[in-house]
Amino acid sequence: MEYATLNNGIKCPVVGIGTFMIAPPDAENSVREALKMGYRLVDTAAAYINERAVGHGIKESGVAREEVFISTKLWPSEYENENAVDETLERLGVDYVDLLYLHQPAGNWLNGYRMLEKAYRDGRAKSIGISNFEGKYIAELETKWEIAPQFIQVEAHPYFTQKELRKTLDKYGIKIMAWYPLGHGDKSLISEPIFTELAKKYGKSNAQVILRWHTQMGFTVIPGSKNVAHIKDNAEIFDFTLSDYEMAEIAKLNKGARYYNGTEEQLAGYAMWQPTYETR
């Protein structure tokens, strides 16, 4: 496993197990098995309704808590709940998380960010982040934060490299954690000739080449899966390195094309949905 050093000096694995759209029993199994095979980054969210299962999976893995980098997210309906951070920790069964995000730039997000900063100062969150804060939202937050975030979680892949956003992020050393890292499973992207060629050259799958591209771009990736074989494959990307020439060839694929095509307002509007929580 390779690690990235964040702008606060903390180290984070560059590949983790994601749990988006994975039901609690499967999330528990995926997390447990991923940690057993060497993963050390786990990503979840209140909105995924599987935080308790993720917490159980971590405990069942037998891996010490301090070795696991746990990332989760507060939903906008919690941005004015002064107990939201403690409730998140309770669901996960931990005393702190390694990364705590705001999930959407909606509702009273500035108050939500102040909650993150407080959790960071008192040690309940070792690092903080923002999810889907692009365009005007990141521009506004940049003028108001007291503590710069360590991460932003956004859509990123070879068709959409977040080139413009990175101009802002690079000023502060903010890392990207990519969602849709494989283009939402788009066969057109995964089957691009350059990936097929490189997969053959390095004895890897096209998906593994794309994930390696992410890590060499400086991105962190959290592909989710219920398939243990796929989980294993997703982490086996550190025994080869793409050359500068190969990275430049892949860069030619960037066309500024997203798979999520909603407006910033529509993305923020997801906050109208209210998650329910596992009771287990």
Mean per-residue pLDDT, 263-272: 54
For 234-249, write each residue's pLDDT tens digit.
999 999 999 999 999 9
Distance CA 1, CA 13 (A): 7
The per-residue pLDDT for range 28-82, each reduced to its tens digit, is 999 999 999 999 999 999 999 999 999 999 999 999 999 999 999 999 999 999 9
Q: Structural domains in the chain?
A: 3-272 (3.20.20.100)
Place 226 in a pLDDT band, splitting at 50, 70 and 90. Answer: very high
DSSP three-state, residue 49: coil
Q: Rounded mean pLDDT of 205-216?
A: 98
Of residues 266, 254, 174, the one with CA closest to residue 213? 254
Of 31-35, 201-205, 264-268, the poorest mean pLDDT is in: 264-268
Query: What's the confidence (pLDDT) of residue 214?
Result: 98
pLDDT at residue 273 greater than cutoff 70: no
Average pLDDT over residues 164-191: 94
Q: Name the token pair of 133.
A: 């804060």
- pTM here? 0.94
Bridge partners, 13 (sequence order): 3
Which residues form the catalytic set? 48
pLDDT in tens, 11-31: 999 999 999 999 999 999 999
Neighbours of 33 (CB within 10 A): 19
Residue 120, both tokens: 């960071």
pLDDT at 264 exceeding the cut of 90: no
pLDDT digits (tens, 9 = 90+) for 128-147: 999 999 999 999 999 999 99
Tell me the sheet residues that pair with 99.
Answer: 71
Angle between helical axes of 244-251 and 193-202 (0-180°, round to 10): 160
Tokens coding 185: 């499973």
Burial class of residue 19 in the structure, from the number of CB atoms within 10 Å of its CB (0-12 exposed, 13-18 middle, 19+ buried) = buried
Task: Answer whether 155's CB lies under 8 Å from 264's CB.
Answer: no
Average pLDDT across the chain, whole number = 94
